[in-house]
Structure 1
């Protein structure tokens, strides 16, 4: 049975890793991809793939999002909503509700619950600043949306190999940095099994970086 997956912000570095694995690993042969981004010429290398549809649009425009979401089974949003009014999260939720699409994975940042301890937690809060408030609201909108959601609270990212620990909303964040490949791996596990981490907000990081006071690249 075909599984239809929409990737919003499809030219992002994590999104590209997800796309590469979905199109190359045999366990995902049943996945058809819709890739949503502002400039579709950035994905010219995929335009002739029979399993890929590339759509140009803006996450800030509800009609664009509705058009992309129609007939999908799962939506991955590869950009954090730092908009002042959380228009982006609201557009995704409304588009999914109107199209009766239930499963969403939405990227966010570490620190929205003040769950990052110590010196690094203080530094992280200072770096993200007011962006933490909009990020927290994005998570809260998803929680009350009625959708099957997963919020991914991303660490400071690097290009290392897959190595991560998952923490949940009521747990202290473990680690300060993690790899883009690790984030992609979690998304792929959810695509493979949509019940994995359903109705959850999870931190993902390399536990070996727990003692660091600045990001590890």
Structure 2
């Protein structure tokens, strides 16, 4: 059993992770988010809710008490500041393992027409800030895994493959359920993919853009 801190616990992927962890494991979940009223706790013995700001190092340090693994499902224009706060807070504790959700394209690793389309959609503040946040994580001494999903769908499937940093990104899309499954697998085996940055896509979804565009 592990004590897992989930940052951005109201996010769509985070909620899928929470549901899967509660159903398949005996881990205890500490759910950290800005507005706690948005969450419905289904197992009060295994879920602790903390209202806080992930850019506030002091609030994060308090939330990290007794935690084994941090899974960050954060977003926003201040994602780099959040990354700095998360790394700085973790450095003040005995926690070492961090799973961080980012996005595809932060290394300009998406090839072809899809890569050009991805830039058109995400340049101008999004890729730049998420890339800067990932750099903060990578320059830390934490046992991190960065996850770079393809464009996300709500398909009810678990089907994914991964690429490493330095390899061309594959595919155009992936289900949120697949990303959640990958996160759960890393929580269940924290020794996997240490200090790796994983591109994640659904196999056989190559094209100029995702199927839902």
Q: TM-score scaled to structure 2, two decimals?
A: 0.94
Deviations 1:138-189 (A, max 9, x none): 1111112100000101111001211111000011101110000110011011
The number of equivalent residue pairs is: 210
Can you give the 5+ residue segments of structure 2 that lack an aligned partner in the other structure? none
Once the two structures are TM-superposed, the CA of residue 81 in structure 1 deviates from its matched residue by 5.8
Q: Is the 8 A contact 1:81 1:138 kept in 2?
A: no
The 8 Å contact of residues 7 and 33 in structure 1, kept in 2 or not, is answered as yes
What do the CA deviations read for 1:58-89 (whole angstroms, capped 9, x no partner)? 112221211112221000111246427x2100
CA drift of 1:126 comes to: 1.6
8 Å contact from structure 2 (residues 81, 133) kept in 1: no
Q: Which secondary structure does the structure 2 equivalent of 1:44 belong to?
A: coil
* Matched position secondary structure for 1:201: strand
* SS of match in other structure, 2:102: strand
Instruction: Give the alignment partner of residue 183 of structure 1, picking from 179, 183, 186.
Output: 179
TM-score (norm 1): 0.92
> After alignment, is 125-134 or 146-155 more displaced?
125-134
Paired residue for 2:101? 107
> What CA RMSD, in Å, does the superposition of the two structures yield over aligned residues?
1.4
Among 193, 198, 204, the alignment partner of 2:200 is 204
Mapped pair 1:8 → 2:7? yes
d(CA) in 2 for partners of 1:216 and 1:80?
24
The residue that corresponds to 1:174 in the other structure is: 170
Distance 2:40 2:147 in 1: 28
Secondary structure (helix, strand or coil) at the match of 2:39 reads helix
Say whether residues 1:23 and 2:22 are aligned partners.
yes
1:1-217 equivalences under 5 Å are 2-25=1-24, 28-29=25-26, 31-46=27-42, 49-80=44-75, 82-83=77-78, 86-129=80-123, 130-160=125-155, 161-210=157-206, 212-217=207-212
Specify every segment of 5 or more residues in structure 1 that has no aligned partner in the other structure, as ranges: none
